[in-house]
Chain A
Amino acid sequence: GAGVSQSPRYKVAKRGQDVALRCDPISGHVSLFWYQQALGQGPEFLTYFQNEAQLDKSGLPSDRFFAERPEGSVSTLKIQRTQQEDSAVYLCASSLAAADYEQFFGPGTRLTVL
Protein backbone atom coordinates (compact mmCIF):
# COMPACT_ATOMS: atom_id res chain seq x y z
CA GLY A 1 0.00 0.00 0.00
CA ALA A 2 0.91 3.63 -0.18
CA GLY A 3 1.34 4.12 3.56
CA VAL A 4 1.35 2.39 6.91
CA SER A 5 -2.03 0.90 7.75
CA GLN A 6 -3.33 -0.18 11.14
CA SER A 7 -6.35 -2.18 12.20
CA PRO A 8 -8.69 -1.92 13.85
CA ARG A 9 -8.88 1.87 13.93
CA TYR A 10 -10.94 1.75 17.12
CA LYS A 11 -11.12 -0.93 19.76
CA VAL A 12 -13.22 -1.00 22.92
CA ALA A 13 -12.32 -3.67 25.46
CA LYS A 14 -13.61 -4.56 28.88
CA ARG A 15 -11.02 -4.53 31.63
CA GLY A 16 -9.27 -7.90 31.72
CA GLN A 17 -9.76 -8.75 28.04
CA ASP A 18 -6.88 -9.43 25.66
CA VAL A 19 -6.49 -7.32 22.51
CA ALA A 20 -4.41 -7.60 19.34
CA LEU A 21 -3.51 -4.59 17.21
CA ARG A 22 -2.20 -5.03 13.70
CA CYS A 23 0.27 -2.95 11.70
CA ASP A 24 1.01 -3.25 7.97
CA PRO A 25 4.18 -1.28 7.23
CA ILE A 26 5.18 0.25 3.93
CA SER A 27 6.32 -2.51 1.60
CA GLY A 28 10.08 -3.00 1.74
CA HIS A 29 10.58 -1.11 5.00
CA VAL A 30 13.02 -2.94 7.21
CA SER A 31 12.34 -1.18 10.49
CA LEU A 32 9.08 -1.08 12.41
CA PHE A 33 8.22 0.83 15.59
CA TRP A 34 5.33 0.94 18.05
CA TYR A 35 4.46 4.03 20.10
CA GLN A 36 1.76 4.74 22.69
CA GLN A 37 0.11 8.15 22.74
CA ALA A 38 -1.97 9.04 25.77
CA LEU A 39 -4.55 11.81 25.53
CA GLY A 40 -2.87 15.22 25.48
CA GLN A 41 0.64 13.78 25.24
CA GLY A 42 3.21 13.08 22.59
CA PRO A 43 3.88 9.51 21.46
CA GLU A 44 6.06 7.36 23.70
CA PHE A 45 8.32 4.64 22.29
CA LEU A 46 7.35 1.05 23.01
CA THR A 47 9.43 -1.25 20.83
CA TYR A 48 11.51 -1.54 17.64
CA PHE A 49 11.98 -4.31 15.08
CA GLN A 50 14.56 -4.70 12.37
CA ASN A 51 13.11 -7.29 10.04
CA GLU A 52 11.81 -10.02 12.35
CA ALA A 53 14.24 -9.26 15.17
CA GLN A 54 12.96 -7.26 18.13
CA LEU A 55 16.02 -5.14 18.89
CA ASP A 56 14.58 -2.88 21.58
CA LYS A 57 11.58 -3.47 23.82
CA SER A 58 12.61 -1.13 26.59
CA GLY A 59 9.45 0.99 26.31
CA LEU A 60 6.94 -1.80 26.88
CA PRO A 61 5.26 -0.78 30.16
CA SER A 62 4.72 -4.26 31.57
CA ASP A 63 4.91 -7.93 30.74
CA ARG A 64 1.27 -7.74 29.65
CA PHE A 65 2.50 -6.08 26.46
CA PHE A 66 3.95 -8.27 23.74
CA ALA A 67 4.88 -7.48 20.13
CA GLU A 68 5.89 -9.72 17.27
CA ARG A 69 6.84 -9.50 13.61
CA PRO A 70 7.39 -13.13 12.65
CA GLU A 71 8.04 -12.73 8.92
CA GLY A 72 9.60 -9.29 8.99
CA SER A 73 6.55 -7.55 7.58
CA VAL A 74 3.22 -7.35 9.43
CA SER A 75 3.47 -6.75 13.16
CA THR A 76 1.02 -7.38 16.00
CA LEU A 77 0.99 -5.67 19.37
CA LYS A 78 -0.83 -7.76 21.94
CA ILE A 79 -2.00 -6.53 25.32
CA GLN A 80 -3.12 -9.12 27.82
CA ARG A 81 -5.53 -8.50 30.70
CA THR A 82 -6.15 -4.91 29.65
CA GLN A 83 -6.44 -2.21 32.29
CA GLN A 84 -7.93 1.27 32.14
CA GLU A 85 -4.50 2.89 32.04
CA ASP A 86 -3.85 1.08 28.75
CA SER A 87 -6.39 3.38 27.06
CA ALA A 88 -4.45 5.33 24.44
CA VAL A 89 -3.75 5.59 20.73
CA TYR A 90 -1.24 2.99 19.57
CA LEU A 91 0.82 4.21 16.64
CA CYS A 92 2.91 2.09 14.33
CA ALA A 93 5.69 3.53 12.18
CA SER A 94 8.04 2.06 9.60
CA SER A 95 11.26 3.23 8.02
CA LEU A 96 13.35 2.17 5.06
CA ALA A 97 16.31 1.06 7.13
CA ALA A 98 17.53 1.40 10.68
CA ALA A 99 18.45 4.52 12.62
CA ASP A 100 18.43 8.02 11.16
CA TYR A 101 15.84 7.24 8.51
CA GLU A 102 12.47 9.00 8.43
CA GLN A 103 9.73 7.14 10.25
CA PHE A 104 6.35 7.05 8.51
CA PHE A 105 3.45 6.74 10.90
CA GLY A 106 0.14 4.97 10.51
CA PRO A 107 -3.16 6.52 11.67
CA GLY A 108 -3.13 4.60 14.92
CA THR A 109 -5.55 2.38 16.80
CA ARG A 110 -7.54 4.09 19.54
CA LEU A 111 -7.96 1.63 22.40
CA THR A 112 -10.52 2.34 25.09
CA VAL A 113 -10.63 0.04 28.11
CA LEU A 114 -13.84 0.22 30.12
Chain B
Amino acid sequence: TQLLEQSPQFLSIQEGENLTVYCNSSSVFSSLQWYRQEPGEGPVLLVTVVTGGEVKKLKRLTFQFGDARKDSSLHITAAQPGDTGLYLCARGNYKLSFGAGTTVTVRA
Protein backbone atom coordinates (compact mmCIF):
# COMPACT_ATOMS: atom_id res chain seq x y z
CA THR B 1 0.00 0.00 0.00
CA GLN B 2 1.54 3.28 -1.16
CA LEU B 3 0.68 6.06 1.31
CA LEU B 4 2.61 8.60 -0.74
CA GLU B 5 1.15 9.74 -4.06
CA GLN B 6 3.62 10.77 -6.73
CA SER B 7 2.82 12.65 -9.92
CA PRO B 8 3.15 12.55 -12.78
CA GLN B 9 3.73 8.84 -13.28
CA PHE B 10 5.83 9.42 -16.41
CA LEU B 11 7.62 12.49 -17.73
CA SER B 12 9.59 12.77 -20.97
CA ILE B 13 11.38 16.00 -21.81
CA GLN B 14 14.09 17.36 -24.06
CA GLU B 15 17.58 18.08 -22.73
CA GLY B 16 17.76 21.61 -21.35
CA GLU B 17 14.12 21.81 -20.24
CA ASN B 18 12.98 22.11 -16.64
CA LEU B 19 10.76 19.63 -14.82
CA THR B 20 8.96 19.27 -11.51
CA VAL B 21 7.72 16.10 -9.83
CA TYR B 22 5.45 15.94 -6.82
CA CYS B 23 4.96 13.83 -3.72
CA ASN B 24 1.78 14.17 -1.64
CA SER B 25 0.27 12.57 1.42
CA SER B 26 -2.99 12.99 3.32
CA SER B 27 -1.09 12.81 6.61
CA VAL B 28 1.72 14.87 8.08
CA PHE B 29 5.16 13.36 8.03
CA SER B 30 8.16 14.32 10.14
CA SER B 31 10.64 13.97 7.29
CA LEU B 32 10.75 12.97 3.66
CA GLN B 33 13.46 11.48 1.54
CA TRP B 34 13.98 11.66 -2.23
CA TYR B 35 15.77 8.89 -4.12
CA ARG B 36 16.78 8.28 -7.72
CA GLN B 37 16.81 4.74 -9.06
CA GLU B 38 18.46 3.87 -12.37
CA PRO B 39 17.56 0.70 -14.29
CA GLY B 40 19.13 -2.38 -12.75
CA GLU B 41 20.24 -0.53 -9.63
CA GLY B 42 18.90 0.17 -6.17
CA PRO B 43 17.61 3.59 -5.08
CA VAL B 44 20.22 6.18 -4.13
CA LEU B 45 19.39 8.83 -1.55
CA LEU B 46 19.41 12.39 -2.92
CA VAL B 47 18.19 14.41 0.04
CA THR B 48 16.22 14.36 3.30
CA VAL B 49 13.90 17.26 4.13
CA VAL B 50 12.77 17.75 7.71
CA THR B 51 11.42 21.24 8.35
CA GLY B 52 8.13 22.56 6.92
CA GLY B 53 8.86 25.12 4.21
CA GLU B 54 12.43 23.87 3.83
CA VAL B 55 14.17 24.27 0.48
CA LYS B 56 17.32 22.33 -0.32
CA LYS B 57 19.45 22.64 -3.43
CA LEU B 58 21.73 20.00 -4.87
CA LYS B 59 23.36 21.42 -7.98
CA ARG B 60 20.51 21.63 -10.53
CA LEU B 61 18.02 19.89 -8.23
CA THR B 62 15.80 21.89 -5.85
CA PHE B 63 13.76 20.10 -3.19
CA GLN B 64 10.92 21.75 -1.31
CA PHE B 65 8.99 20.52 1.72
CA GLY B 66 5.50 21.97 2.09
CA ASP B 67 4.67 24.22 5.03
CA ALA B 68 2.14 21.70 6.33
CA ARG B 69 4.61 18.83 5.85
CA LYS B 70 2.14 16.92 3.69
CA ASP B 71 3.73 17.50 0.31
CA SER B 72 7.08 17.89 -1.38
CA SER B 73 8.42 18.70 -4.82
CA LEU B 74 11.59 18.12 -6.77
CA HIS B 75 12.51 20.60 -9.49
CA ILE B 76 15.28 19.96 -12.00
CA THR B 77 16.69 22.88 -13.96
CA ALA B 78 18.18 22.39 -17.42
CA ALA B 79 17.72 18.62 -17.34
CA GLN B 80 20.43 16.39 -18.78
CA PRO B 81 20.25 12.79 -20.06
CA GLY B 82 22.07 11.74 -16.88
CA ASP B 83 19.01 12.83 -14.89
CA THR B 84 17.02 9.99 -16.45
CA GLY B 85 15.68 7.59 -13.84
CA LEU B 86 12.90 6.73 -11.43
CA TYR B 87 12.44 9.40 -8.78
CA LEU B 88 11.00 8.07 -5.53
CA CYS B 89 9.91 9.81 -2.37
CA ALA B 90 9.86 7.92 0.93
CA ARG B 91 8.97 8.43 4.57
CA GLY B 92 9.85 6.58 7.73
CA ASN B 93 12.88 6.01 9.89
CA TYR B 94 13.96 2.40 9.45
CA LYS B 95 10.80 1.05 7.78
CA LEU B 96 10.76 3.16 4.63
CA SER B 97 7.46 3.59 2.82
CA PHE B 98 7.90 4.63 -0.81
CA GLY B 99 5.66 6.22 -3.38
CA ALA B 100 5.24 4.53 -6.76
CA GLY B 101 7.71 6.96 -8.32
CA THR B 102 7.95 9.20 -11.36
CA THR B 103 9.83 7.83 -14.36
CA VAL B 104 11.78 10.70 -15.93
CA THR B 105 13.29 10.40 -19.40
CA VAL B 106 15.52 13.20 -20.68
CA ARG B 107 16.06 13.01 -24.44
CA ALA B 108 19.34 14.26 -25.90
Give A contacts to B, CB under 8 Å: 4, 31, 33, 35, 40-45, 48, 56, 58-59, 91, 93, 95, 98-100, 102-103, 105-108
The reply to whether A44 and B94 form a contact with Cβ atoms under 8 Å apart is: no
The reply to whether B100 and A99 form a contact with Cβ atoms under 8 Å apart is: no
CA distance A31 to B35 in the complex (A): 19
CA distance A99 to B92 in the complex (A): 9
Residue numbers in B under 8 Å from A33 (CB-CB)? 94, 96
List 30 contacting pairs A-B, 8 Å CB cutoff, sorted by A: A31-B94, A35-B96, A40-B100, A41-B101, A42-B4, A42-B100, A42-B101, A43-B88, A43-B96, A43-B98, A44-B98, A45-B92, A45-B95, A45-B97, A48-B94, A59-B95, A91-B42, A91-B43, A95-B94, A100-B94, A102-B45, A103-B96, A105-B42, A105-B44, A107-B40, A107-B41, A107-B42, A108-B40, A108-B41, A108-B42
CA distance A64 to B108 in the complex (A): 46
Is B26 close to A, CB under 8 A?
no
Residue numbers in B under 8 Å from A4 (CB-CB)? 42
Complex: chain B residue closest to A100, CB-CB: B93
Interface residues on B, range: 20 to 34
CB of B101, distance to nearest CB on chain A (Å): 5
Interface positions, chain B 60-78, Cβ under 8 Å from A, are none
Given contacts A42-B88, A42-B90, contact A48 B99 (CB under 8 A): no
What's the count of A-B pairs with C-beta under 8 Å? 55
Dominant secondary structure of chain B at its interface with chain A: loop
CA distance A44 to B44 in the complex (A): 15
CA distance A44 to B96 in the complex (A): 8
Is B27 close to A, CB under 8 A?
no
CB of A12, distance to nearest CB on chain B (Å): 16
Residue numbers in A under 8 Å from B100 (CB-CB)? 40-42
